Chains A and B, each alone.
Chain A
Amino acid sequence: MDVTLRLTVNGKAVEAAVDPRTLLVQVIRERLQLTGTHVGCDTAQCGACTVHLNGRAVKACSMLALQAQGGDLTTIEGLSKDGQLHPMQAAFRECHGLQCGFCTPGMVMSAVQLLKDNPKATEQEIREGLEGNICRCTGYHNIVKSIQLCQSGKVSATA
């Protein structure tokens, strides 16, 4: 039997009737059509589905939608404001921190959380902080650089 799910998603109130078995990522992708959140695995390992729920990075593939009931959800689509990239998005662009783009939304959402938790993270701490996100394209080199650039506050363009 469907249950009514109420969420604030990227600043807007949404409501959806969902089967209780439905995963949060399914609601995001299939009901809200926010397809920037990706599914790269089925074991909560790759992190492509990372979103922010109530200000914390979570893997949307490994929680039920109803566990987010009443929550405040931000997806990659909600990270940029008024056409301006979030400094982390801009840093990824400036440092070529993405190639195929598939892991990127989750990687950016994790990176934002990482610096929120540890604004002065060292390279080693950044690398350890990315343990939950797999990228097959970049070798992580430029992802680390992107996060360090964002950390320095010296990101140039955000448009």
Chain B
Amino acid sequence: MTAMSQPQSPIGQSLLRREDYRFLTGAGQYTDDVVLPFQTYGVFLRSPYAHARIRSIDTSKAAKAPGVVKIFTGTDLADAKVGGLPCGWLIHNKDGSPMKEPPHPVLAQGKVRHVGDQVALVVAETVLQAKDAAELIEVDYQELPAVIDIKSVETAGTGVHDDVPNNVCYDWGHGNKDAVDAAFANAAKVTKLEFTNNRLIPNAMEPRAANAQYTKHDESYTLYVANQNPHVERLLMSAFVLGLPESKVRVISPDVGGGFGSKIFLYPEETALVWASKRVGRPIKWTAERSESFLVDAHGRDHATTAELAMDAQGNFLALRVKTIANMGAYLSTFSTAVPTILYATLLAGQYKTPAIYAEVKAVFTNTAPVDAYRGAGRPEATYVVERVVEQAARDMKMDPTAIRRQNFITEFPYATPVGLTYDTGNYAAHLDKAKDLADVGGFAARKAASQAQGKLRGLGYACYIEACGLAPSNIAGALGARAGLFEAGEVRVHPTGTVTVFTGSHSHGQGHETTFAQVVAAKLGIPVESVEIVHGDTGRVPFGLGTYGSRSIAVGGTAIVKAVDKIIAKGKKIAAHLLEASDTDIVFENGEFKVAGTDKKVPFGSVALTAYVPHNYPLDKLEPGLNENAFYDPTNFTYPAGSYVCEVEVDPETGKTTVEKFTAVDDFGNIINPMIVQGQVHGGVAQGLGQAMMEGCVYDPESGQLLNGSYMDYTMPRADDLPSFTVDHTVTPCTHNPLGVKGCGEAGAIGSPAAFMNALTDALGVRDLAMPATAERVWRAARH
């Protein structure tokens, strides 16, 4: 029995989420739930054509329709000198010239470039009146041939943008081409695969929405918007498009119903609403219908890739050569250009010590919706390339797929890859071993035999992924073309009674930060979790932050908070030293108490807090009152979550129906704050990755450019009976360069699972490749060969 029980640290505990009560009782407040006084409703008239010149727009009839307040077109915006939406990442061509950056207008200027492109904003008293009026707008279009197929854009004979006749945004190269060519010349064996990474539609369950208000008395704007990074939204919109002082714009992202990347970006809709709200003099609300979300939310993935792996006779990897065509869609969305370059080619080493790697990426414009970051953003595409090729290489070499991986694993850290990253830590064999155990790989042969006895095919596949998270050291990102910083901000405000409000630049849209961030602060300060309140998502309240994407919140946002807490403790020590009549260098802070080291003299955190605000007995000559600190944290490196996934499938060759019999995920996320929440993130990510592999795929008509599956009746979302329960576990190598030792967990599931599934399916079918999504029809056809 211990003399005195230490309070258990909240870090590492599966505390139930504090945000759940409001969500479970209908008290959540999403953007569409916000009702502003005298609000009007905005509806966007959208292009029915993929590509057309606008000869004229006649709004005269519509303007007279019942309830119409005002109608705006691109001409109004051009007259007001409203600029286009900026792209946040500049990529350079192989020859050093900059990428093509054609204008991305808020409302169409002379041309429409994808089905759904916004042509006019109708503002009316009700949604129905706005819709009715939109139908009365007469637009004279001259239809143009649509550029859809990414493999033939250069010879399409028409330019999506008049000043980009070959439709190439950039032609980028990364790595050492000569070293790769030399290695291929001497290779004993080359494994080559060609595949597409299918285009996905994000489908957060809350459709995008915005409500914009202009306040005359202080000439300010307030925008409620379903967004993952309100400060980025404000910066881009005010500084680059509308020319407004940021001090006059407040962006509030309240409860947000999922993002998955699609709510990172600055979109035309909310920009038009903010601008128009001043002209209308009343708030304007817009909520996307799901069919609009399908048409205009930035889509994900959409790569066509050839990958070749050179090996020696023993299966040691010598070089990897990758050529990718990446679809940008019609316009450059906020971070679109970074996804198939900086977030993709830099990850092509995977978990392996492949000495030479070279990637060429050609980004192209098409008459489709813009494409940008979607859960994983470049890293799922990289993992798919590496892990499909590695699995096929094992088959070509007649080696066990785990043996070939193990033989090529990086085992010494830090490790500088040939594609520009330095992995700080990891233990890849540890998660592979654990995953094999949990997946009962030893029993697979018997299960396969049992399936065969019933006329079924069974397959097993692996994926050992790595990702770079915790974006990013700003100076490295800047050197790679980022036009923004990538730090995070946190402010810790201790109240006189010892309770704490934390203001974070991270944004929670399902991740549970209100719980996990409070766990971190409570652990550091030795106070109850209930005493810590987390505030996020409001530029009027939180310090300038970069928001939540790329699994960065705990690693970057969490660290900013820890640094602010450290400042609180440092100041608290000085106050305590005064109260205890000791030197502040003799004060230690443990379990919520400031103590004079080696004595029993102590003062609790709450008393120090009260003293800071009631400074009657206080060293006012050398210390300011108050206990309120903020910190900005810019990481020194990316974090590198990695893991091993094992997928086991059974195929009915008669119908093509494929069932995921077992899915095992073992991830190394470094230290874990709340295991329950982390496992939930993996479940959701795996489901999205299996969705990509099994059923999801955006389809445009190759001639007309019409979106063929623009609803839940047509676009197959994973449902409960499409998926199994998952086996999820962890190994831990703490991150070496942030104080929590955390790496991030939000995207891993979506990164590792498509390759694991396709490796299992191709194993079951005995084929080299099959296109994602592996629909029953595709599987059935493959099974008949």
- Which residues of B have CB within 8 Å of A143? 720
Our pick among A36, A102, A139 for the contact of B25 (Cβ within 8 Å) is: A36
Output the least CB separation between A61 and chain B (Å): 10
- Which residues of A have CB within 8 Å of B720? 126-128, 130-131, 133, 135, 140, 143-144
Output the least CB separation between A101 and chain B (Å): 3
B723 at the interface (CB under 8 A from A): yes
- Which residues of A have CB within 8 Å of B719? 130-131, 134, 140
Please encode chain A, from 130 to 149, with 1 for each CB lying within 8 Å of some chain B CB and 0 for all others: 11011111111111110000
Binds B, one of A1-9, A52-60, A62-70, A91-99: A91-99
Binds A, one of B324-332, B508-516, B584-592: B508-516
In contact, B683 and A105 (Cβ under 8 angstroms): no
| Contacts A/B (CB < 8 Å), 29 sampled | A21-B128, A33-B35, A35-B26, A35-B30, A38-B30, A39-B287, A40-B257, A41-B711, A76-B26, A85-B25, A89-B25, A92-B20, A96-B17, A96-B680, A99-B680, A101-B23, A101-B24, A102-B30, A104-B24, A127-B723, A131-B720, A133-B720, A137-B680, A138-B680, A138-B683, A139-B685, A139-B723, A141-B680, A142-B680
- Which residues of A have CB within 8 Å of B258? 99-100, 102, 136-137
A43 at the interface (CB under 8 A from B): yes
Binds A, one of B4-12, B204-212, B545-553: B204-212
Binding site for B on A (CB under 8 A): 21, 29, 33-43, 45-46, 48, 75-77, 79-80, 85, 89, 92-94, 96, 98-105, 108, 123-124, 126-128, 130-131, 133-145
For A83, the closest partner residue in chain B by CB is B25
For B725, the closest partner residue in chain A by CB is A141
Our pick among B30, B291, B687 for the contact of A140 (Cβ within 8 Å) is: B687
In contact, B711 and A42 (Cβ under 8 angstroms): yes
- Expressed in whole angstroms, the Cα–Cα distance for A98 and B205 within the complex equals 12
Chain B residue total in the interface (Cβ 8 A): 58
- Which residues of A have CB within 8 Å of B20? 92-93, 98, 101
In contact, A75 and B26 (Cβ under 8 angstroms): yes
- Expressed in whole angstroms, the Cα–Cα distance for A119 and B711 within the complex equals 33
Using a CB-CB cutoff of 8 Å, which residues 714-735 of chain B contact chain A? 717-721, 723, 725-726
Using a CB-CB cutoff of 8 Å, which residues 658-708 of chain B contact chain A? 676-677, 679-680, 683-688
Output the least CB separation between B215 and chain A (Å): 24
5 nearest A-B pairs in the assembled complex, by CB-CB distance: A36-B26, A102-B257, A101-B23, A139-B687, A100-B510
- If A99-B510, A144-B725 touch, whether A38 touches B24 (CB-CB below 8 Å) is no
B13 at the interface (CB under 8 A from A): no
- If A41-B711, A100-B206 touch, whether A108 touches B24 (CB-CB below 8 Å) is yes
In contact, A105 and B723 (Cβ under 8 angstroms): no
Output the least CB separation between B33 and chain A (Å): 4
For A77, the closest partner residue in chain B by CB is B26
- If A102-B206, A136-B688, A142-B680 touch, whether A77 touches B725 (CB-CB below 8 Å) is no
Question: Which of A45, A75, A144: most chain B CB closer than 10 A?
Answer: A45
Question: Which of B24, B204, B290: most chain A CB closer than 10 A?
Answer: B24
- Which residues of A have CB within 8 Å of B19? 101
Our pick among A42, A85, A142, A145 for the contact of B289 (Cβ within 8 Å) is: A42
Please encode chain B, from 22 to 55, with 1 for each CB lying within 8 Å of some chain A CB and 0 for all others: 1111111110110100000000000000000000
- Expressed in whole angstroms, the Cα–Cα distance for A48 and B35 within the complex equals 20
- Which residues of B have CB within 8 Å of A142? 680, 683
- Expressed in whole angstroms, the Cα–Cα distance for A151 and B366 within the complex equals 51
B203 at the interface (CB under 8 A from A): yes
- If A36-B25, A38-B206, A46-B712 touch, whether A134 touches B717 (CB-CB below 8 Å) is yes
In contact, B712 and A43 (Cβ under 8 angstroms): yes
- Expressed in whole angstroms, the Cα–Cα distance for A142 and B631 within the complex equals 36
New A-B pairs, 4, CB < 8 Å, besides A38-B257, A136-B688: A36-B28, A96-B676, A96-B679, A139-B687
In contact, B25 and A76 (Cβ under 8 angstroms): yes
- Which residues of A have CB within 8 Å of B594? none
- Which residues of B have CB within 8 Å of A140? 683, 687, 718-720, 723
B276 at the interface (CB under 8 A from A): no
Output the least CB separation between A26 and chain B (Å): 9
- Expressed in whole angstroms, the Cα–Cα distance for A134 and B329 within the complex equals 27
B255 at the interface (CB under 8 A from A): yes
Output the least CB separation between A146 and chain B (Å): 10
**A-B pairs with beta carbons under 8 A, tally:** 181
- Expressed in whole angstroms, the Cα–Cα distance for A136 and B715 within the complex equals 14
For B687, the closest partner residue in chain A by CB is A139
In contact, A42 and B291 (Cβ under 8 angstroms): yes
- Expressed in whole angstroms, the Cα–Cα distance for A124 and B724 within the complex equals 9
- Expressed in whole angstroms, the Cα–Cα distance for A84 and B686 within the complex equals 34
- Expressed in whole angstroms, the Cα–Cα distance for A90 and B291 within the complex equals 34
- If A45-B713, A93-B21, A136-B205 touch, whether A101 touches B683 (CB-CB below 8 Å) is no
- If A99-B680, A130-B721, A131-B719 touch, whether A93 touches B25 (CB-CB below 8 Å) is no
- Expressed in whole angstroms, the Cα–Cα distance for A144 and B20 within the complex equals 17
In contact, A102 and B205 (Cβ under 8 angstroms): yes
Output the least CB separation between B733 and chain A (Å): 25
- Expressed in whole angstroms, the Cα–Cα distance for A142 and B512 within the complex equals 15
- Expressed in whole angstroms, the Cα–Cα distance for A85 and B679 within the complex equals 24
- Expressed in whole angstroms, the Cα–Cα distance for A76 and B24 within the complex equals 8
- Expressed in whole angstroms, the Cα–Cα distance for A33 and B688 within the complex equals 33
- Which residues of B have CB within 8 Å of A46? 205, 290, 712
Our pick among B511, B686, B717 for the contact of A99 (Cβ within 8 Å) is: B511
Using a CB-CB cutoff of 8 Å, which residues 241-287 of chain B contact chain A? 255-258, 260, 287
Output the least CB separation between B58 and chain A (Å): 28
In contact, B26 and A99 (Cβ under 8 angstroms): no
In contact, A136 and B511 (Cβ under 8 angstroms): no
- Which residues of B have CB within 8 Å of A92? 20, 24
In contact, B205 and A37 (Cβ under 8 angstroms): no
Output the least CB separation between B768 and chain A (Å): 29
For A147, the closest partner residue in chain B by CB is B720
- Which residues of B have CB within 8 Å of A130? 719-721
For B128, the closest partner residue in chain A by CB is A21
For B690, the closest partner residue in chain A by CB is A139
B16 at the interface (CB under 8 A from A): yes
In contact, A139 and B713 (Cβ under 8 angstroms): no
For B676, the closest partner residue in chain A by CB is A96
- Expressed in whole angstroms, the Cα–Cα distance for A102 and B749 within the complex equals 21
For B27, the closest partner residue in chain A by CB is A36
- Which residues of B have CB within 8 Å of A124? 721
- Expressed in whole angstroms, the Cα–Cα distance for A38 and B717 within the complex equals 18
- Which residues of B have CB within 8 Å of A21? 128
Output the least CB separation between A152 and chain B (Å): 16
In contact, A101 and B510 (Cβ under 8 angstroms): yes
Output the least CB separation between B511 and chain A (Å): 7
In contact, A137 and B684 (Cβ under 8 angstroms): yes
Output the least CB separation between B15 and chain A (Å): 10
For B259, the closest partner residue in chain A by CB is A100
Output the least CB separation between A107 and chain B (Å): 10
- Expressed in whole angstroms, the Cα–Cα distance for A108 and B204 within the complex equals 18
- Expressed in whole angstroms, the Cα–Cα distance for A41 and B723 within the complex equals 22
- Which residues of B have CB within 8 Å of A99? 258, 510-512, 680, 684
- Expressed in whole angstroms, the Cα–Cα distance for A42 and B710 within the complex equals 11
